[in-house]
A and B are shown apart, each in its own frame.
Chain A
Amino acid sequence: MKNFFKIFSFIILFSGLSLSIQAAEKVEYLKTDWSFKGLFGKFDRAALQRGYQVYTEVCSSCHSMKYLSYRNLAEKGGPEFSIEQAKAIAASFEVKDGPNSDGDMFTRPGRLSDKFVMPYDNVQAAQAANGGAYPPDMSVLVKARGGGVDYIYSLLQGYEDPPAGVTLDDGVYYNKYMYGNKIKMANQLSDGLVEYSDGTTASVEQMSKDVTTFLMWSAEPHLESRHQMGFKAILYLIILTILVYFSMKRIWSRIETEV
């Protein structure tokens, strides 16, 4: 048994090590309490809805979300808009469709099954409109950046005047959390930029937090069911392990050997 704990602690140590290697790479990001962290972490429904609003009104003019469909907005574990709300949201966008029977492309109001409408037709168009920089698709952005949600949250609030000695080209901005500190996206958020329908004060901090929560959901739409299932699965495994441990003790007691 002693040996066994050695092995088990070895595995824990390994896990710990891999976590700390990840952690060591981080710069000091701004901290906030994320409702979706932890064993039972869930999204804050209202924050997701507000985050969607920030995305639509601010980010979506440049950033696409190509893996999301309007139906996702009404799905369980997400912002959970009602079906009617989601339909209305979808209908507020013009979607290119076709060709029709005459061979022509046409536009029509969006439906639940449509993917989020993209701000640009292609990467080249996006680059041409943004001084050569491609505004990355935001569907999995949180998972595609080392610091994850903390990084995005900090970046949105990390705009500063460049320190003395740093010269910036036209269309380049200084951000203390950006890799290399130079970013081609201008500061987008300012207090009161959007008007939240639930009356929450739209401070920069609040909007950053809301939109980052929304991005976390878009990157991990099944996070809630993952956490729920994980808890049940691990609890089940622990109980089974205890039962098997006692069976093992009993079986091995037939011969006089320690296990």
Chain B
Amino acid sequence: MSDHEYTPKSKFGKWFNDRLPLLTLANHLTDYPTPKNLNYWWTFGGILTFCLITQIVTGLVLAMHYIAHADMAFDSVEHIMRDVNYGWLIRYIHANGASMFFLAVYIHIFRSLFYGSYKAPREIIWIIGIIIYLLMMAAAFLGYVLPWGQMSFWGATVITNLFSAIPLVGEGIVTWLWGGYSVDNPTLTRFFTLHYLIPFLILGLVVLHIWALHVPGNNNPVGIDIKKPSKDTVPFHPYIVIKDGFALLMFMIVFAFFVFYTPNILGHADNYIEANPLVTPAHIVPEWYLLPFYAILRSVPDKLLGVVAMLSAILILAALPWLDTSKIRSAVFRPLYRQFYWILVADVLILGYVGAMPAEGLYLLVARVATAYYFLHFLVILPVLGWKEKTLPIPLSITEPILGGSPNLATAKNKESLNK
């Protein structure tokens, strides 16, 4: 944050700003020097902020009409869908909003993986991001339970039962989580409370995430450190604001299509059947965004080890800045990493697919291979690549590959060294 000192023009502004420097903050946010070569993969931060706000606002309205009681929850959701003014709209935005939120967060995470945004000096931004992602999964799971449909009930039963895998105290913990001896009304009311709480925790962490980002500034597709402000940067407003706005609008078109034309396609039909503890659905599947981890969980034959594998699959991401030993950030200059990156993307998609299928036969085999590869990527391939890989020469500034007229980055670098 190497901004110039900011002094408000008006007398009142100065008086106010001396006591609470909100105007300095606003000035910092508008002037914030941003790399000018950011591509559209970088617009998902803004899109995610929009998703969070949308979920909080629609969620508040839903909470005004929803009744967190095992006997009334399902009815109250139908009441929202039928008799609350535009209740159907609010609920469909909220339900599909969760999916859109995860779609955006996965793009955001894989952007980081491709361009090495998690590397020094941005480790703290990355770790806060992983915590946000974990909280998002918790919020999404808790929220899915609230309509009290069949998938809500049985999903909650399956997931809370995972804790019983903990040796000695497992069973006790599950009873404590449920507030009884099965998923029932006490479970629902506490899930509702936590579902209401978590988004505000996320909001707080998002502030920290952005704060931590504004210390070193954005990474960029070339992945090199840049001077700020300089010829390589543009002020956040209006350049990035309008670009993020444009991308957000495109995102909203897709979002609107889901909400207005296929609002139930991402949900499961069974969740329109009221929860019934006596009838187990044929297949219990989580929402699509949790499927890769569900596949990892089921691919391990032992319950405890399965839970450990699933948790490790997420937590391993937090260690990524130290597992990736390469000095080069962007995959643009890492020909081998680039290929492994796409294999990882395919691996996660495969895990998602088999997660939706019954855990048997070929599906189970594929899930096991894909799970093994997932860990192999992070624990073996990444560290070794950093030592072995022959990277391409990186340019000295981002102005060079963009404005220099030479698309060949290697010559850009050569030219730079000739000039010295």
Is residue B336 within 8 Å, beta carbon to beta carbon, of the partner chain?
no
Question: How far is A139 from B272 in the complex, measured between Cα atoms in Å?
Answer: 10
Query: Chain A's nearest CB lies how many Å from the CB of B16?
Result: 30
Assess the A18–B288 pair: CB atoms within 8 A.
yes
Assess the B356–A221 pair: CB atoms within 8 A.
no
Assess the B36–A257 pair: CB atoms within 8 A.
yes
Assess the B107–A244 pair: CB atoms within 8 A.
no
Question: Which residues of chain A come closer than 8 Å to B273, judged between CB atoms?
Answer: 136, 144
Is residue B418 within 8 Å, beta carbon to beta carbon, of the partner chain?
no
B interface footprint on A44-84 (CB within 8 Å = 1, 0 otherwise): 00000000000000000000000100001000000000000
Is residue B311 within 8 Å, beta carbon to beta carbon, of the partner chain?
no
Q: Is the interface of A mostly helix, strand, loop or mixed?
A: helix
Assess the B250–A241 pair: CB atoms within 8 A.
yes
Question: Which residues of chain A come closer than 8 Å to B107, judged between CB atoms?
Answer: 7, 10
Is residue B89 within 8 Å, beta carbon to beta carbon, of the partner chain?
yes
Query: Chain B's nearest CB lies how many Å from the CB of A71?
Result: 10
Query: How many residues of chain A are within 8 Å of chain B by beta carbon?
Result: 50
Assess the B272–A144 pair: CB atoms within 8 A.
yes
Question: Which residues of chain B come closer than 8 Å to A12, judged between CB atoms?
Answer: 254
Assess the B243–A248 pair: CB atoms within 8 A.
yes
Q: Which of A7, A10, A226, A251 is in CB contact (< 8 Å) with B239?
A: A251
Is residue B266 within 8 Å, beta carbon to beta carbon, of the partner chain?
yes
Assess the A252–B254 pair: CB atoms within 8 A.
no
Assess the B251–A67 pair: CB atoms within 8 A.
no
- A251-B238 contact in complex given A139-B78, A221-B82, A241-B253, C-beta closer than 8 Å: yes
B interface footprint on A20-53 (CB within 8 Å = 1, 0 otherwise): 0110000000000000000100000000000000
Most A CB contacts (10 A, CB to CB) among B234, B250, B265 go to B250
Q: Which of A67, A252, A257 is in CB contact (< 8 Å) with B78?
A: A67
Question: How far is A248 from B241 in the complex, measured between Cα atoms in Å?
Answer: 9
Assess the A143–B39 pair: CB atoms within 8 A.
no
Question: Which residues of chain B come closer than 8 Å to A248, judged between CB atoms?
Answer: 242-243, 245-246
Q: Which of B257-274 contact A (CB under 8 A)?
A: 257-266, 269-270, 272-273
Is residue B50 within 8 Å, beta carbon to beta carbon, of the partner chain?
no
Q: Interface stretch among A95-103, A158-166, A197-205, A227-235?
A: A227-235
Assess the A3–B243 pair: CB atoms within 8 A.
no
Is residue B37 within 8 Å, beta carbon to beta carbon, of the partner chain?
yes
23 A-B interface contacts by CB (under 8 A): A4-B39, A4-B247, A7-B41, A11-B103, A15-B257, A18-B266, A19-B262, A67-B82, A140-B78, A144-B272, A145-B269, A219-B272, A226-B92, A227-B260, A230-B260, A234-B256, A237-B249, A237-B256, A240-B249, A241-B250, A244-B242, A248-B243, A257-B37
> What are the 6 closest A-B residue pairs judged by CB atoms, nearest first?
A230-B260, A144-B272, A241-B249, A143-B272, A4-B40, A248-B242
